[in-house]
A and B are shown apart, each in its own frame.
Chain A
Amino acid sequence: MPSTDPPAVIETWGLTKLYPGGVTALDGLTVDFAPGVTGLVGANGAGKSTLIKILLGLIRPTKGQAKVLGLQTGEKVRSLLGYMPEHDCLPADVTATEFVTHLGRISGLPPTVAKERAAESLRHVGLHEERYRLIGTYSTGMKLVGAPRLLLLDEPTNGLDPAGRTAMLELIARIGTEFGISIVVASHLLGEIERICDHLVAIDGGRLLRADTITSFTQVSQVLAVEVEEGLDRLQAELAARGLAVTSQARTLLVPLGGDDTYDVVRDCVAALSLPLCRLEQRRHQVEELFRDEEGVANA
């Protein structure tokens, strides 16, 4: 990462984790996470949870090292982190205030501060405002109470209904923008990541696929998308006849963009066949292409 950028909140060098039994969860992962909301994406088993647990110091890497907020992973770092495990962890028989206060104390807050911040955190997440928010936002309150500088969220929308999902994503975005807390969101749901993240770190099989800003992932590509109301086959044949390597995808024709004259060729073809053209635009990359290209499978 160039030196002009703000310092990374997480840096890893050659992070490798082998589990007993020969499972390689991480394989020489070297990556920086910029401040802001960063999506950590990858298929199930790509190593997302393992990376988070190493950052928290819950497990040790087999090789390599990691720094969080400029500090070696360990106890000191943990007091500055908020973490939400991917599963529920809510004791049913304790009041939210009592439990969140207790966790604040375990984060090293003095008693009175812990009480204040517990009340505020629960208010921030809107607990009791809406019933559907209860489960999801309750655990969010737990993360906020320790006054963290970085939140690690492992599949935060797991087990939430669509409304809860929306509320959770909105809350994450708010925490990231208004509260000024950096967030790493591990998820395999690319649509959610695209909605809320500034940066994206994609891992696959424990290795770094790509790390960049979300906008660079969705930059315009050198492909034209052409749609017509009817006569898709005839248009495809005509374009191919004029020497363009055209492919079809569902109801769209994809034409590699050679230069401005590609537009002209497409226009001429459509005109020659008198077809009703309804869309002609430069295509944007989608985050999921990353994985599609990697595996050679179109799983759209």
Chain B
Amino acid sequence: MPDSATSPPAAGVIHDLGYRGYDGPRLGRGQIVRALTWHSFRSSFGIGRGVKGKIIPVLAFVAMCLPAFVNAFAVARGNPRLFGYDVYVPSLRVAVVTIFLAAQAPELVSRDLRNRVLPLYFCRPLRRGDYPLAKYLALTAALLLLIEIPLLILYVGTIASVKSGSAVWDQTKALIPGLGVGLMWAVLMAAIGLVLASLTGRRAYSTGIVAISCVLTFILSLLLIQAEGGTTAMSTGARIAGLFSPFTIMDGVRVWLGGNPQVGLVANPGRYGPLYGLTAVVLLAACLGGLAARYRKVSRS
């Protein structure tokens, strides 16, 4: 439309409707952070993105829920509940959480770095820490859904089949620690995933960094545990061999807090239990600190 360069702009074109400002109240910072969190939460499941962005979250969700459905169905036909609420299916959970994290943490942070949209956020009424906080809350919530929904399916399926009120209460008592473990997973893994993904704006690299970090540390811990005699061993080596991967650390914390040591990923940490708890807290603090530091630096560019 080269004519428009010379003719006056008010030529009755469709977009010439006059500009409306906005003098109403502006939402506060808290609500802005909430809006950003909600937006990020949606995009962590690929909502608002193309079909491609939805494939991995949906597959992860289906894979995670499938055993719960199958077991709930089996319970309805008189079979026992196979999966504990606190461990669920340990290897599946590790695999699905790793894949979900490797795919979706970069979705939340790397693409903003890649597309250089951060100045657009920081030129608006956000503080430096608000952006990583919103991303963290969003990814934590997404992981929480991914981990807890199968437990709830299993729970609902089970109580639908039991006869007595006391059996329902037993199931509920078993479920609550399971939900707690899920929360721990979401809180810690979201922090780890985001800090690793925010290292680079190259989507493929950050996916690789997250996936490799999760997988390699997990294999390392498993090998060490095997070398020390497996998950039933009582030696000091076996007890602390789980300290080298976030998944085994969290499982150590679970056992330390009273979870069943017969199932799960690690040997019973015994008196090293507090060490697992401490490691988990330090790891979480380090990741959140690293994330905050990352965005203090990046916002200047």
A, B assembled together = yes
Interface residues of A (CB under 8 A from B): 56, 58-59, 75-76, 78-79, 81, 83, 85, 87-94, 98, 102-103, 105-111, 113, 117, 120, 123-126, 129-130, 142, 144, 146-147, 149, 163, 166-167, 170, 173-175, 178-181
Q: A106-B36, A113-B22, A130-B1 are in contact. Are A124 and B50 (CB under 8 A)?
A: no
CB distance from B275 to the nearest CB of A (A): 40
Chain A residues within an 8 Å CB radius of B112: 91
Chain B residues within an 8 Å CB radius of A167: 1, 4-5
State which of A83, A111, A181 has its C-beta within 8 Å of the C-beta of B119.
A83
State which of B24, B29, B53 has its C-beta within 8 Å of the C-beta of A93.
B53
Chain A residues within an 8 Å CB radius of B19: 120, 124, 144, 175, 178-181
Interface residues of B (CB under 8 A from A): 1-2, 4-5, 9-10, 13-15, 17-22, 24, 26-29, 31-32, 35-36, 39, 48-50, 53, 111-112, 115-117, 119-127, 299-300
Instruction: Give 19 CB contacts A-B under 8 Å.
Output: A75-B126, A76-B125, A78-B123, A79-B124, A81-B123, A83-B123, A93-B111, A94-B48, A107-B26, A110-B27, A125-B15, A129-B1, A129-B15, A130-B1, A144-B19, A167-B5, A170-B5, A178-B18, A179-B19
Q: Interface majority SS on B: helix, strand, loop or mixed?
A: loop
A149 contacts B27, C-beta separation under 8 Å: no
B22 contacts A83, C-beta separation under 8 Å: no
CB distance from B179 to the nearest CB of A (A): 31
Chain A residues within an 8 Å CB radius of B22: 109, 113, 117, 147
B127 contacts A75, C-beta separation under 8 Å: yes
Q: A89-B116, A91-B115, A170-B9 are in contact. Are A108 and B125 (CB under 8 A)?
A: yes
Chain A residues within an 8 Å CB radius of B1: 129-130, 167
A105 contacts B20, C-beta separation under 8 Å: no
Chain A residues within an 8 Å CB radius of B4: 167, 170
The number of A-B residue pairs with CB atoms under 8 Å apart is 133
Q: A98-B48, A144-B19 are in contact. Are A88 and B116 (CB under 8 A)?
A: yes
A89 contacts B125, C-beta separation under 8 Å: no
With both beta carbons as reference points, the residue of chain A lying nearest to B14 in the complex is identified as: A123
A149 to B111 alpha-carbon distance, docked (Å): 30
B39 contacts A108, C-beta separation under 8 Å: no
With both beta carbons as reference points, the residue of chain A lying nearest to B24 in the complex is identified as: A113
Q: A107-B125, A125-B15 are in contact. Are A94 and B49 (CB under 8 A)?
A: yes
Chain A residues within an 8 Å CB radius of B14: 123, 129
A147 to B22 alpha-carbon distance, docked (Å): 5
- Give 7 nearest A-B pairs by CB, closest first: A147-B22, A108-B26, A179-B19, A83-B123, A105-B35, A91-B115, A75-B125
CB distance from A165 to the nearest CB of B (A): 10
Q: A92-B115, A105-B35, A110-B27 are in contact. Are A117 and B124 (CB under 8 A)?
A: no
CB distance from A83 to the nearest CB of B (A): 4
